[in-house]
Amino acid sequence: MSPAILLIILFAPLAAFAVQILFGRRLFAPKEGEQNRIAGAAVPILGVLVSLALTLIYVLPSMFQPTDPFTLPADGNGAAWIDMAGGMELRIGLMLDNTSRVLLFMVTLVCSMIHLFAAGYMKLRDGLPEPRYTRFFAYLSLFTFAMLLLVVSDNLLTLFVGWELMGLCSYLLIGFYYEKKSAQDASLKAFMTTRVGDVLLFVGMAILWTHLGSLRFADIHAGMEAGNLSGGTLTLAGLLCLGGAIGKSAQFPLHTWLPDAMEGPTPVSALIHAATMVAAGVYLAARLLQAAVLDAAALMTLAYVGAFTAVFAASIAFVQNDIKRVLAYSTISQLGYMMLAVGVGSYTAAVFHMLTHAFFKACLFLGSGSVIHAMHDGLHHVHSHADAQDMRNMGGLRKKMPRTHLTFLISTLAIAGAPLTAGFLSKDAVLAGALAYGMKNPGHFLLPALGFLAALMTAFYMFRLVFGTFYGEFGARANEHDRELVLQAEPHLHESPAIMTVPLIVLALGALWAFWSPMDPMSKGWIGETVVQHEVWTDHGAANVAEGGADSHDAHNGVYHTAHIVTIALSIGVAAVGFLFALLFFGLRVLSSERFAQSNFARMLERKYGFDELYDWAFVRNLLRVCNASGAVDLKIVDGLVNGVGSAFVSARRSFTWLTGAIDRLVVDGAVNGVGRSLRWIGAVFRRAQSGLIQNYLLVIFTGLAALIFIVAMGLR
């Protein structure tokens, strides 16, 4: 593979972004009274398809060749980006190891599918052509570039650049419908909340740089080997960097932004807030684990944060009725799983779950988009204002939308961990890692216990979603006020066009076992063979954690093997229990959830444990209070001082004037009036120059400057 190919893969989406943002509206925007043309999305789709094709041809096959990581520049030492005096320099480069390769494949494939889906989904808004169609795709392209940059970076610095670019795109796309106040608020909330994590990450990077002199993963690892950073400072650096990962991956306590981010268009939720950007936090944590930056305390914290978030978010998903919000909480919960995997040292399991989750969660989100699209059209036809995302207005959609139903069902089985799905393989890997860790360290039995509990809850709320949306009677649970119109919408419901269903089918195929582990539907397959941590654990504080981990050098010494067998049995069991409860409550409706829905606990869940209110009370309002207080200081004290000085001068001047007034009138006035009149005459001429047009002034200034430089240059010659 030549360096040029990697560069094309990386920069093709960026080029598409440039074309789209500079010329998109002029070239592709619909004319008056015209439907949106798919041409408006052609350039970004082409850009991402180029990346996908090159990845499939050149990058993916090289996974199976036992070679060193591919680096650019080729010597593997990076190039100096900023080279300052005194030996300070920042070196950067690109790197493809097997983790990067497989993620490159996942990102380009999922991005391509979502680009295609969005080309159909975004065409209309409320029955009219979407006015910002071309801009939407420009943002998607920029996002794709940022994610690719993050994946192929060999250092924390360019990773951080991609990281922040994704944050920007996330902000722009959540607020894409900025006419809605709720979308504006959600985009700001997402930006501000992740910013808290980003600042922590930046401080962590600064600590690493001051101690190790480089931000490249290889150099960081070498520095850790040499023992240049240890003890409390190392723990602090690790925890700060993880703060960034927790913010980006919406883990507790920075989880509140992700459900609100569902205000964005559904393809955005699928791409950014399910498959790629939120997984970047896990990717960062995995890279830090690989570079041995995380010591035992940091890993322990991460494992508990992940396990707790997995259960915590799943419990909120129980009572949500907006289908996208259920999926959002399920994303938070699944990301918690991945964090748990990193925390217990199961590097491969974390990466594997990140990959399979991207497929089935993107498929679920796009499926919900397909449903919302149909509901929107149907309700629009009958002029109903009922909520197109509320699953109480749905039901029985499997007959209307067979392809959407089938793909959605496959992905639900995958996320619930049913056998013969990709989710079964990766979730088992995560749970087996946690269980092996719990068996080695019985004090931490809570970690695998929470993991299995979350698996049960996942199966329950996901099948609640499936039964509520695709089974039963259409509109049977709509509220009194809307029911009549909602029922009339039924004949107008239709399956989505091919440009939307083909991506669904491709992603659903990725949610089955065959692609990942064709030979043995019980193992990690080729991911387990190729994506392993190539560094053997060293004793930099992480050793005691690694002993229990799945990928340590003694991976096959029995504990992990036993844990894996137990896990397979247990996880099938808990998934079946979760499914059974959902079937009884929401499928067959032989049990009633009414009493639970009335309880205080359910109400607390509906309010998401009150975290939004808590943060509002603790941070937002206090910040406003500080702002108001400093405003008051400005108004009262500073202004008062200035006014006081002013009025003192005024009164002093008044008495002085009374004395001098007489002389003034008699002697000075005559002279002054003469001067005044002539000045006024001159002023009348020159006032024309003071047009009040700033740009005229600037033109004079720039012309004068140019003339001056010209004269000086002449003089020097």
Partner 1 sequence: MITLTHYVVVSALLFVFGMFAVLTRRNAIAILMGIELILNAANLNFAAFSKYVVGGVQGQMIAVFVIVLAAAEAAVALAIILDIYQKVGTISPDETRELKG
Element (H, E) at 596: helix 594-598
Based on the shown chain and the rule CB under 8 A, indicate whether residue 85 belongs to the binding site for partner 1: yes
Give the C-alpha separation, 49 to 43, whole Å.
Answer: 10
The least distance separating partner 1 from the CB of residue 10, rounded to whole angstroms, comes to 21
Applying CB under 8 A, the site for partner 1 has a residue count of 15
- 693 scored as a contact of partner 1 (CB under 8 A): yes
CB of 656 to partner 1, least distance (A): 30
Q: How far is the CB of 83 from partner 1 (least distance, A)?
A: 8
168's tokens: 């920007």
CA of residue 86 relative to chain centroid, distance: 38
Residue 628 binds partner 1 (CB under 8 A): no
Taking CB under 8 A as the rule, does residue 659 contact partner 1? no
Q: Give the nearer residue to partner 1 in terms of CB position, either 80 or 498.
A: 80
Burial 144-172 (b: 16+ CB within 10 A, else e): bbbbbbbbbbbbbbbbbebbbbbbebbbb
Q: Which is nearer to partner 1, 598 or 691 (CB)?
A: 691
708 binds partner 1 (CB under 8 A): no
337, 306 contact by CB (below 8 A): yes
Q: Write 480-483 long-range contacts (CB < 8 A, 24+).
A: 482/384, 482/385, 482/386, 482/393
> Residue 716 Cβ, how far from partner 1 at the closest point, in Å?
16
Among 690, 708, 710, 712, the residue binding partner 1 under the rule CB under 8 A is 690
The three-state secondary structure class of 690 is coil
Residue selected from 80, 543, 698, 711 as contacting partner 1 according to rule CB under 8 A: 698
* Choices 229-237, 388-396, 550-558, 693-701 (CB under 8 A): range interacting with partner 1: 693-701
Neighbours of 112 (CB within 10 A): 22
> Considering the rule CB under 8 A, would residue 694 count as an interface residue with partner 1?
yes
Which of 86, 127, 232, 442 touches partner 1 (CB under 8 A)? Answer: 86
Q: Segment contacting partner 1 (CB under 8 A): 9-17, 196-204, 684-692, 707-715?
A: 684-692
Task: Please give the DSSP secondary-structure letter assigned to residue 419.
Answer: T
H-state helical runs in 251-346: 257-260, 266-270, 277-290, 296-317, 323-343
Residues 687, 707, 710, 711: which binds partner 1 (CB under 8 A)?
687
CA distances from 278 to 250, 284, 338 (A): 7, 11, 11
Q: Which of 695, 713, 714, 717 binds partner 1 (CB under 8 A)?
A: 695
Output 420 or 698, the one with its CB closest to partner 1. 698
Give min distance, CB of 698 to partner 1, in A.
6
Is residue 565 classed exposed, middle or buried when 0-12, 13-18 and 19+ CB atoms within 10 A define those classes? exposed
The nearer residue to partner 1, 89 or 490, going by C-beta atoms, is: 89
Q: How far is the CB of 699 from partner 1 (least distance, A)?
A: 6
Question: Site for partner 1 (CB under 8 A): which residue of 74, 84, 536, 713?
Answer: 84
Residue 680 engages partner 1 in binding (rule: CB under 8 A): no
The tokens for 282 are: 């896990």
CB distance 349 to 432 below 8 Å? yes
Residue in 314, 225, 252 with CA at minimum distance from that of residue 535: 225
Residue 691 interacting with partner 1 (CB under 8 A): yes
CB of 82 to partner 1, least distance (A): 8
Cα(516)–Cα(255) distance, rounded to whole angstroms?
Answer: 30
Tokens representing 173 are 């796309």
CB nearer to partner 1: give 481 or 687.
687
Query: Taking contact as CB under 8 A, which single stretch among the options 56-64, 78-86, 229-237, 592-600 is the one that binds partner 1?
Result: 78-86
Is it true that the peptide bond before 448 is cis, omega within 30 degrees of 0? no
- Does residue 656 interact with partner 1 by CB under 8 A? no
**Considering the complex, what minimum distance in angstroms separates the CB of residue 85 from partner 1?**
5
With respect to partner 1, which residue has the nearer C-beta, 23 or 702? Answer: 702
Tell the smallest beta-carbon distance from residue 702 to partner 1 (Å).
6
Please select the residue that binds partner 1; options are 648, 699, 708, 711, rule is CB under 8 A.
Answer: 699
Question: Per CB under 8 A, does 702 bind partner 1?
Answer: yes
Tell me which stretch binds partner 1 (CB under 8 A): 60-68, 495-503, 570-578, 692-700. 692-700
d(CA 70, CA 2): 10
**Cβ closest to partner 1, residue 590 vs residue 684:** 684
Phi, psi for residue 535 in degrees, rounded to 5? -100, 130
Q: Is 36 left (phi over 0), alpha (psi -120 to 50) or beta?
A: beta
Applying CB under 8 A, which part among 52-60, 83-91, 237-245, 302-310 lies near partner 1? 83-91
Burial 201-221 (b: 16+ CB within 10 A, else e): bbbbbebbbebbbbbbbbbbb
Shorter beta-carbon distance to partner 1: residue 590 or 694: 694
Q: Which residues bind partner 1 (CB under 8 A)?
A: 84-86, 88, 683, 687, 690-695, 698-699, 702
